[in-house]
Structures are given as C-alpha cells and as structure tokens.
C-alpha cells in the first residue's frame, strides 16, 4: 500500500529490537523525512537500543519501550494522545501489537518472509534469491520501491578513546555474535590478529558484555591490541570510526560499522545473504563457504553445528581473511 506522506502530519514507527534491525530502519526514516520535511516522525524502541537513534536528525520524538508496567502505561498514554495518521510496525510481533491495538489509526506491518526462510533452511528451496535487502523490504511496507543512495545512519557525539594514536593504522575486530554458529572460531581471530600485527596494523577489539571473555583472550594472544569492549553504543561508534576496516561476524556490530561507513569484512556461517541482512551500501566483502549443502541451517543462528563439523566457519581460514584485506579493501 502506497501513502502520500504530504497528506500526513504524524506517524509512528515501531522497531523495538535488535541492534542491526533498528539501524536497518534508518534509510526508511530518512526517505519519509525527504518526502515531507514538516511531518512528525516518532519512533518507539527498547530502552537498551535507544542510543542508536538518539541523535537521528529525522526523528521528532523517541520513545523508550520498557517492560515496567507503570512506565509502559505512561508511554502508551502519550502515544494515544498523539492522534497519529499512520503506524508503521516493523517489528510485527505480540509486543508491537500491544502498542498498535489501542491507537485506532491506520497501520501497516512488515512481512517477515517466514515461510520462504523455512523452505530455504529446511529443504534448500531458494525463493529468496532475488529478495531485496531488509531496508528495501522495510520501505516496501509503505509501498516504496526505492530508497536514496545513502546507507544506514548512526550519529554519535562521543570522542574516540584517548589511546588512539595518529600515526597508527587500526583494523577493528568484532568477534562476537549472539549464536555460536554465527561466530568465526576464536583461534581464527587470534591467527588473523597476529597476521595483522605482523603487517604493521594495530588491532582494535569491539564487543559488549557477552564478548568480554573472548576479547580478553584475543588481546592476551596479541602484542598491542586495543581492547574496547563496551556497552555504550555511542562510544563504540566513535571508536569504530577510527578503524580503516572492520572484521565482523553476521551481527549487530556489522550493521553499526556499516552505518558509520567503515568498510566491512564479514564472516557468514550458518546464515546466508539471501536473508537480506548483509552489509548495506558500504564497501564490504562477505566471506562464506558456498560448497556446503547444509547451508543455511538456520535464519537466526544456532547454539551448535547440527552436523558437528562446523565447516561453514572453520574452513574460512585466517590467511583468506587477511588476503581479502590486502588485495580488495586497501587498494
């Protein structure tokens, strides 16, 4: 369904989580703002991800969703008083339905392609071969078939960590991901880090609370790695901008690097690009093992390899990852 945004004065966008999914909404936000510079665009997001949109120049109001019953009711009452013309539900689950239900206005929901994902994962029937990336699919929710040539958007006012030095070339490594099958093996990251240091680069490690242990282990095996694990996304963004290239798994930090327009080398294991979540409009290389008949084994990640061998990640070696940097990203 297509909308004339010049005829609308207030809209609400819902995307509560997670890190990457929220950043992937930013081209749509920008497109709507360009169509009607005076429109009021409000957004509701889980409070732990609010910093991703804190300084977004196209938003009018940012609401922080919480599970606390009293605070949630205050937010819902505020939304109800706004009299929105349109609600764009990009989450499309029971939590977002809880928000849209009392608003009594027109709303549209993001279609998740769950059946096509199921066919690809379970039977390797690929009906997603020509599927657009997720930002374009978000735009399709409101009848838009095109977005501008700009990428994802993330703004931070934080200063980079004081340990960065002007005369060094920094290469970022984001070794984490929520699920095991989306994580390139630790020993491969260590081997890659050693190759980078031997070539004169300084490794910077990024991650959150869940990655502290793995980042510490990589740091302990390298000579001069800068370990910048942090839960402060605004600080992570400021530090990522100091990197020439960032190595990352298929994770939220991959999209954060893309939103900062930092070139990305991404490792894809149990997931594939057809799901639409590969780096958007940024210089990138996706390293994956296309010789396996078992890929993809999931569309979100698994806690272990169902075939035990984990060849989707193990057979992407550190030398290939290093040569990708030298031959394709720094030329």
DSSP string, 155-202: ---PPPPTT--TT--EEEEE---SSGGGS--HHHHHHHHHHHHHTT-E
What are 31-42's pLDDT values in tens digits? 999 999 999 999
Q: CB atoms < 10 A from the CB of 162, how many?
A: 6
What is the C-alpha to C-alpha distance for residues 129 and 208, in angstroms, rounded to an integer? 33
Give CA torsion, residues 92, 233, 214, 246, to 10 deg. Answer: 90
Q: HSE, CB side, 13 Å, CA atoms: give it for residue 302.
A: 17
How far is Cα of residue 241 from the mean position of the Cα atoms in its chain?
Answer: 16
What is the C-alpha to C-alpha distance for residues 84 and 2, in angstroms, rounded to an integer? 17
Q: Which residues pair with 286 in a beta bridge?
A: 266
Question: Computed from CA positions of residues 24, 131, 294, 282, in that sequence, does the dihedral angle turn out positive or negative?
Answer: negative
- pLDDT for residue 258 is more than 80: yes
- pLDDT for residue 330 is more than 80: no
Structure token pair of residue 272: 């594939």
- pLDDT for residue 172 is more than 80: yes
Q: Round the average pLDDT of the chain to a whole number and report it.
A: 96
Q: Domain 5-140, what fold?
A: Rossmann fold (3.40.50)
What is the C-alpha to C-alpha distance for residues 225 and 247, in angstroms, rounded to an integer? 14
Its pTM stands at: 0.97
What are 70-79's pLDDT values in tens digits? 899 999 999 9
Domains of the chain, residue spans = 5-140, 170-329
* Average pLDDT of the residues in 193-210: 97
* Average pLDDT of the residues in 253-278: 97
What pLDDT band is residue 331 in, cutting at 50, 70 and 90? low
What pLDDT band is residue 180 in, cutting at 50, 70 and 90? very high
Superfamily classification of domain 170-329? Glycogen Phosphorylase B; (3.40.50.2000)
What pLDDT band is residue 218 in, cutting at 50, 70 and 90? very high
Instruction: Provide the pLDDT for residue 1.
Output: 72
What pLDDT band is residue 271 in, cutting at 50, 70 and 90? very high
What are 123-165's pLDDT values in tens digits? 999 999 999 999 999 999 999 888 999 999 999 999 999 999 9
| 5-140 and 170-329 share one fold | yes
Lowest mean pLDDT among 208-222, 299-313, 317-331: 317-331
Q: Is 97 exposed, middle or buried (CB count within 10 Å of its CB: 0-12, 13-18, 19+)?
A: middle
């Amino acid at each position: 369904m297509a909308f004339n945004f010049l005829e609308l004065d207030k809209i609400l966008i819902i995307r509560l989580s997670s890190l990457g999914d929220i950043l992937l909404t930013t081209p749509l936000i920008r497109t709507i703002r360009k169509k009607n510079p005076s429109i009021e665009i409000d957004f509701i997001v889980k409070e732990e991800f609010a910093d991703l949109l804190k300084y977004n120049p196209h938003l009018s109001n940012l609401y922080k969703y919480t599970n606390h019953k009293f605070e949630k009711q205050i937010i819902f009452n505020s939304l109800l008083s706004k009299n929105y013309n349109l609600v764009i539900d990009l989450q499309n689950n029971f939590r977002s339905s809880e928000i849209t239900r009392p608003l009594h206005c027109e709303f549209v929901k993001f279609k998740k392609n769950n059946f096509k994902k199921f066919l690809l994962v379970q039977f390797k029937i690929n009906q997603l071969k020509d599927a657009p990336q997720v930002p374009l699919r978000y735009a399709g929710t409101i009848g838009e078939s095109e977005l501008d040539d700009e990428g994802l958007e993330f703004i931070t006012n934080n200063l980079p960590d004081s340990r960065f030095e002007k005369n060094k070339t920094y290469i970022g490594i984001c070794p984490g991901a929520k699920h095991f099958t989306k994580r390139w093996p630790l020993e491969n990251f260590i081997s890659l880090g050693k190759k980078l240091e031997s070539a004169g680069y300084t490794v910077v490690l990024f991650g959150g609370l869940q990655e502290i242990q793995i980042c510490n282990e990589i740091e302990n095996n390298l000579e001069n790695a800068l370990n910048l694990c942090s839960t402060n996304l605004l600080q992570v963004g400021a530090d990522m901008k100091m990197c020439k290239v960032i190595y990352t798994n298929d994770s939220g930090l991959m999209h954060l690097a893309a939103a900062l327009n930092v070139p990305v080398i991404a490792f894809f294991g149990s997931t594939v690009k057809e799901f639409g979540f590969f780096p958007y409009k940024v210089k990138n290389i996706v390293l994956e093992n296309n010789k396996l008949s078992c890929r993809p084994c999931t569309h979100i990640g698994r806690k272990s390899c169902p075939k035990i061998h984990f060849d989707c990640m193990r057979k992407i070696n550190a030398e290939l990852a290093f040569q990708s940097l030298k031959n394709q990203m720094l030329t």
